[in-house]
Amino acid sequence: MIPKILLVDDDKDITLSLGSYLEESGFTVVVANDGSEAIEKFDSGAPDIVLLDIMMPNINGLDVLRKLRTNSTTPIILLTARDEEADTVVGLELGADDYVTKPFSPRELVARIRAGLRRIQHTNQQEGTILFSTIHMDINKRAVDRAGMPLDLTRTEFDLLRVFLENPLWVLSRSQLIENALGYSFEGFERTIDAHIRNLRKKLEPDPKNPIYIATVFGVGYRLQDPEVN
């Protein structure tokens, strides 16, 4: 089955050129030029992944994201401008899986799209549970609790925590986390991982400002530790 992409951007030059590139890369592309149209086409078309511009008329991308995340875990990649960093962080907190900054490489974007689609397939094939310290993860149900309290994680936060749980006590570099949790290995996107780590800590840690589970190893990366031991 050919994957379907919902491409949402009010710049018709971008939707025309990027849409053509994506179709040449083997995808079916559905285009929306504003937020209302994006929600309508998402509800009627069941896309496999969404490319969503933040700054749009009518309903902006963040409001579209909020709406889609009320009942869907479909991967969403934000398309952002360089001066929209604050909005990008908010987007990740609302459940976006990734972002790319304009101007971006179409080849890189295609790699990220394929990585997102592989994550869905991998998720559907997973079974089993992981227990570490007070953290319990049911991979098949994609559910996590800490000391019996359920954690409401986004897809990316879940996948990131899964990598930590599968490699407890090991120091993981940002590039390792990017490749294993997000599924691609492009350089220069450590800030994406840092933002997801911050969001994950807000939900996992009793005190996010003084984390006891996910420790920062300065100059290297992060490590999942057992607070009862450390």
Residues 142 and 113 in one domain: no
- Examine the pLDDT at 125 and tell me if it is beyond 80: no
Distance CA 37, CA 17 (A): 19
pLDDT, position 99: 86
Q: Indicate the residue among 69, 90, 122 that finishes a domain.
A: 122
Q: Give the residue carrying structure tokens 């994506």.
A: 22
Q: Which domain holds residue 177?
A: 128-224
Q: What is the 3-state secondary structure (H, E, C) of the chain?
A: CCCEEEEECCCHHHHHHHHHHHHHCCCEEEEECCHHHHHHHHHHHCCCEEEEECCCCCCCHHHHHHHHCCCCCCCEEEEECCCCHHHHHHHHHHCCCEEEECCCCHHHHHHHHHHHHHHHHHHHHCCCEEEECCEEEECCCCEEEECCEEECCCHHHHHHHHHHHHCCCCEEEHHHHHHHHHCCCCCCCHHHHHHHHHHHHHHHCCCCCCCCCEEEECCCEEEECCCCCC
Residues 89 and 140 in one domain: no
- The per-residue pLDDT for range 143-175, each reduced to its tens digit, is 999 989 999 998 889 999 999 998 888 888 888
Instruction: With respect to residue 180, please indicate whether it lies within any of the assigned structural domains.
Output: yes
Amino acid sitting at position 188: G
- The count of other CB atoms within 10 Å of the CB of residue 159 is 21
Q: Indicate the residue among 65, 88, 122 that finishes a domain.
A: 122
Residues 162 and 111 in one domain: no
- The per-residue pLDDT for range 5-28, each reduced to its tens digit, is 999 999 999 999 999 999 999 999
Instruction: With respect to residue 230, please indicate whether it lies within any of the assigned structural domains.
Output: no
CATH of the domain at 118: 3.40.50.2300
Instruction: With respect to residue 204, please indicate whether it lies within any of the assigned structural domains.
Output: yes
- Examine the pLDDT at 215 and tell me if it is beyond 90: yes
CA-wise closest residue to 158 among 205, 217, 200: 200
Total domain count, the chain: 2
- The per-residue pLDDT for range 88-107, each reduced to its tens digit, is 888 888 888 888 888 888 88
Q: What is the mean pLDDT of residues 36-55?
A: 93
Q: What is the mean pLDDT of residues 198-202?
A: 94
The side-by-side arrangement of strands in the sheet containing 4-8 is 28-32, 4-8, 49-53, 76-80, 98-101
Helix 12-24 × helix 106-125 angle, to 10°: 60
Q: Indicate the residue among 122, 139, 167 that finishes a domain.
A: 122
Q: What is the pTM of this model?
A: 0.67
Residues 137 and 102 in one domain: no
Residues 143 and 192 in one domain: yes
My answer on whether omega of the bond before 208 falls inside 30° of 0, hence cis, is no
Share of the chain above pLDDT 90, in %: 46
